[in-house]
Amino acid sequence: MSIDPETLQGLPKRIGVYIFHGQGSLPIYIGKSVDIRSRVLAHLRAENESEMMAQTQRVEVIETAGEIGALLLESQLIKQKNPLYNIRLRRIRNLCSLQLKNENGFLTPEVVTGKDLGLGQVEGLYGLFSSVHSAQNKLRELADPYRLCLGLLGLEKISARGCFGLQLKTCLGACARLESRSEHDARLLEALDALKVHAWPYAGPIDLVEQQGDWVQRHRIQNWRYVGTWCSKSTDYPVNVQKSFDLDTYKILVKPIMMGSLPFEFLPHS
């Protein structure tokens, strides 16, 4: 063990990000916890982390006023520093999503991709995927419990007798007019509902406010993009942290923002 007991005792039992440094200039691991000291102790006790802990010479701590701040900071730092012992976060260059095309009242899912998807800004997108293939796999996966027609979903050919799934009784038969297309499409919408990609619900940026006593941090968010954190303890002002839509940031923010579980303030937008 390379961390001395004194250092351990000095770690705060508070929320924030901790960074393990080894000999080199880059951190070897970055994590976040609501109780930094206990979490670091848990790393020391974990048998499968003994190699990492043996290399750790110094623990750097950045406390935050709340959990969102810790999650945003951790995610940013891991992407910037790419520490050896963090699971590699693959930068996804081209996110794909599913969009429902309405043709003559019939809904057909299409895989859409590319920079001008308007991710986080337009409604009617479902799921975020790293490839066309994984988007199609998700559709296949959903088709089964909802008894959807792979033919109508554009994943298989439909013959004169309907799709192959009809013979296997996995498809309820919208392809052979055994049920109406609208019944089929209603189940499709139901199946996709949990994957809905929320459009940014405000006209401009907001500040999510986290507070501990008189310590205040405001995380500025616009179109799901993390702009920066203003901190009452620091003279650093928000910088343009993220220039485009980021999947991890969206995942951190979507629940608290859609459920309104954190106090926030609207900002005048230009």
Binding site residues, Zn ion, CB under 5 A: 149, 151, 163, 166, 171, 175
Contact 147, 172 (CB under 8 A): yes
Pick between residue 107 and residue 119 the one whose CB is nearest to Zn ion. Answer: 107
Length of the chain: 270
Helix residue spans in the chain (DSSP H): 5-10, 36-45, 50-55, 67-81, 132-146, 164-167, 181-192, 247-259
Q: Which is nearer to Zn ion, 30 or 163 (CB)?
A: 163
Name, in order, each residue with C-beta under 8 angstroms of 148's C-beta and a sequence gap of 6 or more.
Answer: 142, 171, 172, 184, 187, 188, 191
Q: Which is nearer to Zn ion, 141 or 265 (CB)?
A: 141
Cβ at position 164, least distance to Zn ion in Å: 8
β-pairing, 58-63 vs 16-21, is antiparallel
Question: Closest Cα to residue 255, out of 189, 194, 192, 191?
Answer: 194
How far apart are CB 103 and Zn ion at their closest, in Å? 17
171/253 with CB nearer Zn ion: 171
101 versus 161: smaller Cβ distance to Zn ion = 161
Rounded to the nearest 10°, the torsion over CA 175, 181, 184, 187 is 160
**Shortest Cβ distance from residue 142 to Zn ion (Å)?**
14
Q: Which residues contact 151 (CB under 8 A, 6 or more apart)?
A: 157, 158, 162, 163, 164, 165, 171, 175
**Closer residue to Zn ion (CB): 72 or 175:** 175
- CB of 170: closest distance to Zn ion in angstroms? 8
CB of 127 to Zn ion, least distance (A): 22
Which tokens belong to 233?
């303890």
Coil, helix or strand at residue 183: helix
Quote the least distance from Cβ 125 to Zn ion, whole Å. Answer: 25
Nearer to Zn ion, 151 or 228 (CB): 151
Q: Report, in Å, the least distance between residue 232 CB and Zn ion.
A: 60
